[in-house]
Amino acid sequence: MILLWYILIPAVAAPVAWLLGRSRPALARWTAVAGTTAPLVILAGQWITKASALQATFAARGPGPAGLVAGSWIADVKATWIGSLGISFFLAADGLTIIMLLLTFALGLLAVLASWRGITKNVGVFHLMILWTVAGLAGVFLSLDLFLFYFFFEMMLIPMYFLIAVWGHEKRVYAAIKFFIFTQVSGLLMLVAIVALVVIHGRETGVYTFDFTQLLGTQMAASTAFILMLGFFFAFAVKLPAWPLHTWLPDAHTEAPTAGSVLLAGVLIKIGAYGMLRFMVPLFPDAVHDFRTVALVLAVIGIIYGAVMAYGQSDMKRLVAYTSVSHMGFVLLGVFAWNTLALQGVILQLVCHALSTGALFIMVGGLQDRIHTRDMGRMGGLWQVAPRMGGTAMFFAMASLGLPGLGNFVAEFLILVGVWQVSHWAAVLGAVGLVFATVYALWMMQRAFQGEETHGWSFADLTKREVGMFGAMIAALVLLGFWPQPLITTARQTVTGLQEMTAASSLAQPRPTAEAGDPAAEAAAAPADDASGATSLADDEGAQQ
Amino acid sequence: MLGLLWLIPALPAAGFLALVLLNRRLDRTAAAWIGAGSVGLSALVALLVCGSFIVSPPAGDAYHQVLWTWMDVAGFAPNIGFYLDAVSVLWVLVITFVGFLIHLYSTEHMEHDEGFTRFFMYLNLFVASMLVLVLADNLLLLYLGWEGVGLCSYLLISFWQKDPQNVYCGRKAFIVTRVGDTALIAGLFLLFTQVHTLEIQPMLAAAQESFVPGSAVAVAAALLILGGAIGKSAQVPLQTWLPDAMAGPSPVSALIHAATMVTAGVYLIARTNVLFTLAPDARLIVAIVGTVTLLLAGFSALVQHDLKRALAYSTISQIGYMFLALGVSGWEAGVFHFMTHAFFKALLFLAAGVIIEALADEHDIFKMGGLRRELPAVFWTFTIGAAALAALPFVTDGFYSKDLIIATSLGSVDGNLWFYAGAIVGAFVTTLYSFRLVWLVFFGERHTEVSRRPRRRQLVPLWILAVLSVVSGLIWMPPWLAGFHPFETFLDTALPPIEFTGEYAHFAESALGALVTISVVVVGIGIAWLLWMPWRRGTHAFSESPAVRPLAAYWLGGWGFDWVYERVFVIPVKWFARVARNDLVDHVVDGIAWLNVAAWRTLSAGQTGRLRAYVAVAGFGIALVLAVVVLR
């Protein structure tokens, strides 16, 4: 039942914030703080108490629904919702869910804190929207019934739409509509694919259900699976976003208020990665395998294109937005590489990117509150004015370019090592993307913070509230950079489980060795492949017990 | 004692943290104490640890300390762990001691700088990263240090960030070295995939076992590592960032861009020598890169006007010597030259810093002159440094290490006459440019007034380094001179010894071979005297002669590498970023939206409200339908 609270607390706090905010705006802010902190605390408690369950060896009995249900969830809730259609209210959590929920509530809290000064219009409604977005996001990450998942997936768009359209910047209506149409259209494609999948499964077994665990392993023609996979892929690739479906993102991120940008970049686009990991690949592993080359190409283009675009921007917020396109390219690479290294890297990347990019958005928002512009042509030399801000921005710029010692590096390295097992070229080009990341990150620092201050700006350096927020994010990134193990351990069971679900597919087959190396090297290379990698991992854990 | 190993990098890291957290609450004295003090303590601990290592070597001549497991994913479990052997002992001692001297020097050199605390913050972070780099027990942790020093290099080159040009130079350094790092990280992917560990010693052992010598995998691994080394150590073709890196303060040039960071590539190759031993083709490329670099950079150093740029090119050239040594399997010779070079080049840069400071930020050597009497201490120490750089026989450390490299380039099994000729020509050019600087800066007429004189905290490091530049070569004397070579014995515990087994080995090792080197140096000094001794007026006539001028201009610009890179890489990327800044893909989306709007316009244009038009269209439609039905 505890899972229900994660959705209910922010959902109920939302109208409370609105009602209280009508008379006293500060109360709305504090309600929002409580509405995100409370589930965060409960979640942390659950994380700690379930740590041993998460450490346990994945207790699968083979691929398919049976294996999945057996001990792979640390908690679940199931109730019939629309019985006649096989739709249930099915929530469940595993390690990955915990990580995604941590992100959701932590970034929700940061979003509230980041709007403390900047938002003065309709404060109550603003926090209602934030809390509903958070509730919707929590629902997305908890749902295991595909219809319920789709429900939350769409539901959370509405408060986000209003956040952009009402509290956004100059071109907010355009951006909000663009965001809505992109997500809506791609979401509909996914709905069609879901319904088709349910029907195919129903015809075959006589059981019409939206329960993901039962739909796993549905038999169908390869071409059908490919088309259905594409339906899911479109929805998640738009969310992620993957090149060339990314163009809503720069507009939405740029025009949204800081809180909106933080939630968008920190959590909302992560649904794309989460959906691929949780649903798309396990449901259609063979189709994903067939699609792998295309996806890797799109990912690599996204990494480099996003970075070059970021370099070309003069609007600082837009620059940061394009870096997301680049970083999410790594996520796409990792998902399609589908081995333990890459998947762990993907999950770490989701967390670290949320922190580093979220921080950059808060930074730009803070700057805009102070000097009322995001145009870097009107900045320059701000380090002199606000050295603490300059140093902090430098830190997050370094996180963005993947500096070792910060979590982002661990994530990107794991992804690329994993990708190397599948495609040398994709891994190398991904690494080249890091050179381009250096280019935009340093260019941003130069244009905004270095050089001579000529515009006569004078404003206060970071406030205590901001120092607290940034300090926490810096500490988290450094910690993850030197000791990512807590997250890796938490996600381990999920990653193993995902690979077991696809163990029988072509995704898990050892790839034909491409190098014309000597036999010894080839023999040595074999254990690195996905399936055996997973088993050896399980063995390791058995040994640790 | 060895258990204290982790403290060596931890102390400067703690200094960095303290400076970050306390930043504005510190006055200059406190910041200097934390900044220089943490490195000084680190040097003391290094002395204890390395001393006990040398006096009573641990089993296997190496000490391994694991602090914690960095991450553990599917059998990939690199440690945060340190590995101390003869090679890292040498690097640790040089980094901490030269580092401490330079910190001490900086407390005075940077005295009036508004970014005083920030300077020591970066410098401490640099020392910590560099120590992690050389102590790392696995390649991933090494890469962490590797990127960390790259970051500090960027931060310190662009330290005076009000001038956009300095920031540009810093960015250039970071980006160019990161190009090389891409190769290195691909090497990590390859090695991990092949041998399933990145821990250096087990990895090398596994490679030794499973790689066929000369096989594609071995060559690829070695070449990818070489790519990283080329970037960091400013070798051709990624050398272009180092001359520009001189935009940073002089202590930074001394510490990062002469003594330590730029030799990280040498360290990396020496550390992974097993891979290069398995890949003769890669070794050949290392030697070629070294030879080409030492010549190109040597000639460029010959024509510079800016004192620090001349020294920067000489650094590139001297690291070229180290690469040449590594490429002909003279691992120990390369490492030896690293040590002597660290002393005399740090000395030269620190002395240059004093000169530039004394002349109110004047960098042009043609505007210096006559400083012999004004700055006697600097004159003597700089001349000792220049003599060591030129490998003045017997009395400088540069002679012993460079002569060893020259001998190895001919006498080792990988050596040949080409490398030897390159090394000899390079030695000649080195002599020319070293003494060109001495004659032009310290002799002749004075062109600029001396406005500031160095004090104790600057002079003490200069003299200590000068003494080291004289005596440090004596720990490895050539066999024809004396049988004293404890340094070689020490290095033998970690590196393969140099084997003189080539065709010309006998000559290379003999006193006769050394005589060639010695005479080249002596003749070089003489010619430099003829050309640049100011009262001989040879300078002008020579550099203005029609044969020399265009060539000199070409060398001055660094052989046109920047010119080419600008056109091949920078301009196209900038062009694309400008053209596509509104996102080309978005035009497609806008196109779809435009089509919708156009369709709406067209259709709504028909809604005129005029009944006649509606009836006409309706009538036309009915007629059409009827026609289709009837005529079918």
pLDDT category at A59 given cuts 50, 70, 90 is low
Contact B49, B1 (CB under 8 A): yes
* C-alpha dist (Å) from residue B364 to A36, B110, B296, B304, B360: 62, 21, 22, 9, 11
Q: State chain A's mean pLDDT as an integer.
A: 85
Q: Does A257 touch chain B (CB under 8 A)?
A: no
Contacts of B20 in chain A (CB under 8 A): 391
Q: Do A427 and B189 touch (CB under 8 A)?
A: yes
pLDDT of residue B408: 92
Pairing of strands B63-69, B79-84: antiparallel
User: What is the per-residue pLDDT across A281-298, written as a single tens digit (0 to 9) for each?
Assistant: 988 988 999 999 999 999
User: What is the per-residue pLDDT across B404-424, written as a single tens digit (0 to 9) for each?
Assistant: 999 999 988 888 899 999 999
Which tokens sit at A255?
Answer: 């025009």
* C-alpha dist (Å) from residue A36 to A6, A9, A17, A357: 9, 8, 12, 20
Q: Do B210 and A384 touch (CB under 8 A)?
A: no
pLDDT of residue B541: 61
Contact A7, A138 (CB under 8 A): yes
Q: Tell me: pLDDT of B508 over 70.
A: yes
Q: Do A416 and B185 touch (CB under 8 A)?
A: yes
Mean pLDDT of B603-619: 84
User: What is the per-residue pLDDT across B334-382, written as a single tens digit (0 to 9) for each?
Assistant: 999 999 999 999 999 999 999 998 888 888 888 888 888 888 999 999 9
User: What is the per-residue pLDDT across A103-135, written as a single tens digit (0 to 9) for each?
Assistant: 999 999 999 998 888 888 888 889 999 999 999
For chain A, percent helix, then strand, then coil, each to nearest 5? 75, 5, 20
Mean pLDDT of A50-78: 61
Task: List all residues 6 or more positions away from B564 whose beta carbon is below 8 Å from its beta carbon.
Answer: none
Cα(A90)–Cα(A165) distance, integer angstroms: 33
Name the B residues in 26-85 with CB < 8 Å from any A CB: 68-76, 80
Q: Tell me: pLDDT of B453 over 60.
A: yes
Contacts of A424 in chain B (CB under 8 A): 189
Which tokens sit at A530?
Answer: 């996905």
User: What is the per-residue pLDDT across B301-312, written as a single tens digit (0 to 9) for each?
Assistant: 988 889 999 999
Chain B residue with Cα closest to A242: B585
pLDDT of residue A57: 59
pLDDT category at A56 given cuts 50, 70, 90 is low
Mean pLDDT of A192-203: 92
Kindly write down the DSSP assignment for every residue of B219-261, as one continuous string: HHHHHHHHHHHHHHTT-TTSTTHHHHGGGS-HHHHHIIIIISG
Q: What are phi and psi of B233, to 5 degrees?
A: -95, 15
**What's the pTM?**
0.90
Query: Angle CA(B160)–CA(B166)–CA(B167) in degrees, nearest 5?
Result: 95
User: What is the per-residue pLDDT across A234-283, written as a single tens digit (0 to 9) for each?
Assistant: 999 999 888 888 889 999 999 989 999 999 998 999 999 999 999 999 88
Q: State chain B's mean pLDDT as an integer.
A: 90
Cα(B377)–Cα(B462) distance, integer angstroms: 9
Which tokens sit at B31?
Answer: 């910041």
Handedness of CA B369, B372, B376, B377 (dihedral sign): positive
Nearest C-alpha neighbor of B493 from the set B92, B8, B46, B88 = B88
pLDDT of residue A391: 92
Q: Does A54 touch chain B (CB under 8 A)?
A: no
Q: Tell me: pLDDT of A61 over 70.
A: no
Q: How many CB pairs under 8 A join A and B?
A: 170
Contacts of A250 in chain B (CB under 8 A): 583
Q: Does A313 touch chain B (CB under 8 A)?
A: yes
User: What is the per-residue pLDDT across B225-264, written as a single tens digit (0 to 9) for each?
Assistant: 999 999 999 998 999 999 999 999 999 999 998 889 999 9
Q: How many other C-beta atoms can be found within 10 angstroms of the C-beta atom of residue B114?
A: 11
Q: How many other C-beta atoms can be found within 10 angstroms of the C-beta atom of residue B544?
A: 10
Mean pLDDT of A370-380: 88
What's the domain count of chain A?
Answer: 1
Describe the crossing of helices A424-448 and A285-312 by its angle, rounded to 10 degrees. 30
Chain B residue with Cα closest to A312: B577
Q: Tell me: pLDDT of A429 over 60.
A: yes
Among the listed ranges A163-172, A278-287, B600-609, which one has the minimum average pLDDT value? B600-609
Q: Tell me: pLDDT of B529 over 90.
A: no
pLDDT of residue B434: 93
Mean pLDDT of B12-19: 94
Chain A residue with Cα closest to B159: A450
Q: Does A478 touch chain B (CB under 8 A)?
A: no
The residue ranking higher by pLDDT, B1 or A8, is: A8
Name the B residues in 545-604 with CB < 8 Å from any A CB: 573, 576-578, 580-581, 583, 585-586, 588-589
Mean pLDDT of B432-451: 86
Cα(B402)–Cα(B382) distance, integer angstroms: 19
Among the listed ranges A93-102, A202-211, A468-477, B443-452, which one has the minimum average pLDDT value? B443-452
Contacts of B10 in chain A (CB under 8 A): none
Residue with tokens 């994380």: A47
Q: Does B515 touch chain A (CB under 8 A)?
A: no
The residue among B23, B66, B68, B71 with the most chain A CBs within 10 A of its CB, best to mutate, is: B71
Which tokens sit at A228?
Answer: 């259905």
pLDDT of residue A525: 41
pLDDT of residue A508: 74
DSSP state of B394: T
Half-sphere exposure of B566 (CA within 13 A, CB side): 5
Q: Does B377 touch chain A (CB under 8 A)?
A: no
Q: Does B148 touch chain A (CB under 8 A)?
A: yes
pLDDT of residue A228: 92
pLDDT of residue B60: 85
Q: Tell me: pLDDT of A515 over 50.
A: no
Kindly write down the DSSP assignment for every residue of A159-218, as one continuous string: HHHHHHHHH--TTHHHHHHHHHHHHHHHHHHHHHHHHHHHHHHHHHHS----BHHHHTT-
Cα(A393)–Cα(A445) distance, integer angstroms: 8
Q: Do B144 and A404 touch (CB under 8 A)?
A: yes
Contacts of A537 in chain B (CB under 8 A): 73-75
pLDDT category at A522 given cuts 50, 70, 90 is very low
Nearest C-alpha neighbor of B316 from the set B380, B249, B230 = B230
User: What is the per-residue pLDDT across B150-190, written as a single tens digit (0 to 9) for each?
Assistant: 999 999 999 998 888 999 999 999 999 999 999 999 999 99
Chain B residue with Cα closest to A534: B74
Q: Identify the domain containing residue A387 by its residue range.
A: 2-544
Q: How many other C-beta atoms can be found within 10 angstroms of the C-beta atom of residue A42?
A: 16
Q: Tell me: pLDDT of B107 over 70.
A: yes
The residue ranking higher by pLDDT, B288 or B589, is: B288
pLDDT of residue A509: 57
Contacts of B588 in chain A (CB under 8 A): 244
Q: Tell me: pLDDT of A155 over 70.
A: yes
Mean pLDDT of A147-151: 92
Q: Which residues of A464-489 are buried (b: 16+ CB within 10 A; e: fewer)?
A: eebeebbebbbebbeebbbbbbebbb
pLDDT of residue B349: 94
pLDDT of residue A50: 79
- The ipTM estimated for the assembled molecules is 0.90
Among the listed ranges B43-52, B99-108, B344-353, B552-561, which one has the minimum average pLDDT value? B552-561
Nearest to A450 among B167, B211, B583 (CB): B167
Q: What are phi and psi of B35, to 5 degrees?
A: -65, -55
Describe the crossing of helices B417-442 and B397-411 by its angle, rounded to 10 degrees. 160
Mean pLDDT of A452-476: 89
pLDDT category at B509 given cuts 50, 70, 90 is confident
Give residue B498's Cα distance to chain centre: 25
Give residue B175's Cα distance to chain centre: 13
Percent over 70 (pLDDT), chain B? 98
Percent over 90 (pLDDT), chain A? 43
pLDDT category at A526 given cuts 50, 70, 90 is very low
Q: Do B72 and A485 touch (CB under 8 A)?
A: yes
Q: How many other C-beta atoms can be found within 10 angstroms of the C-beta atom of residue A80?
A: 11
